[in-house]
Amino acid sequence: MEERLLALLRMAINQHATDLHFSIRNETVTLQMRCGIQIKDIENEPQDLKLFRYLQYRANLELSDRSRPQTGRFEMEVDGKMLALRFAVMHSLMLTSGVLRILNGTLDWTLAECCSDKKQTDLLKKGLKRRSGLFLVSGPTGSGKTTTLYAMLNELSPAKIFTLEDPIEIYSERFVQIQINERQHLGYDEGISQLLRHDPDVIMIGEIREPVAAAMALRCALTGHLVLTSIHASSAHSAITRMIELGVSETQLMEMLVGVSCQRLVSLKNQKGRMCIYEVLLPEQLAQLRQGQMPDHFIPLQQRLDDLLLKNRITHKQWDAVGL
């Protein structure tokens, strides 16, 4: 089973995939992998059902328990590099779903490595110059939000930085990283209460999915800390709307926002690797939005994509794949 798993992980790494998807129906396994917003099919092999059970074993999941979703973690060395892996399993009446996420150990990326457009990265850095406030990083699944967050934290180092995550996706010796563990009664509220006692300069909350996390992020900003967090949204403006839908005060939110970004991940033509592209709203543009005006000097994602296409840096196929 390890040989098959190694082969799949090598394939995923080679194609910059973040997840391997297993779907089981009538003892037949369908395999796919996520590359950005694209889902690519993988040719299955007869032993893939055994591989699925092997992954459950490696992740220390209860094989006989089909009544509830389960998630576990393990590590595996691939070509001399230790990968952190998370395996999540959920059963329905007709289908069993499993997702193997490549969390990937340490990553010391800079914003310049995320995006080669200095004007875009300078906008992000400008939002990080405040000593307190809230910076929202948004985008769809697989758009590189976590990588951007950690690149931003690396820009802020050596400030005293604490992270609160569920799960910890990138390990760093530069920061104090706290893993949410509801079984041990360590949720966002308790986690925030504990880390505030350690006098942090910067707090990163991995992802806003629920009202409690949204409230805690805003609370930390209100108490004089710089808070970075991510949220699923299709645009910078809709990230603000999403936070309000989660129950935070619109007035307090708009007062505390030091920046809102939204991003996509694109493959550059005739180059290896991928690049993030961003749209960024800073306080001056946010103030104009509150007054019902169109923000000055704001370049939306669609315009950035059109520019890359015009300059022949991406193909039509890649441009269509980002889902705007």
Distance CA 219, CA 200 (A): 14
pTM of the model: 0.81
Rounded to the nearest 5°, which phi and psi values hold at 95?
-140, 145
DSSP state at residue 315: -
CATH (residue range 2-102): 3.30.450.90
Specify the residue for token string 């092999």. Answer: 45
User: What's the chain's average pLDDT?
Assistant: 90
* 174, 179, 184, 186 alpha-carbon torsion, rounded to 10°: 90
Q: What digits encode the pLDDT tens for the residues 103-137?
A: 765 567 899 999 989 999 999 999 999 999 999 99
Is the domain spanning 111-321 CATH 3.40.50.300? The answer is yes
Distance CA 188, CA 182 (A): 9
Structural domain spans, the chain = 2-102, 111-321
pLDDT value at 295 more than 70: yes
Q: What digits encode the pLDDT tens for the residues 24-61?
A: 999 999 999 988 767 899 999 999 999 999 999 999 99
Distance CA 269, CA 283 (A): 34
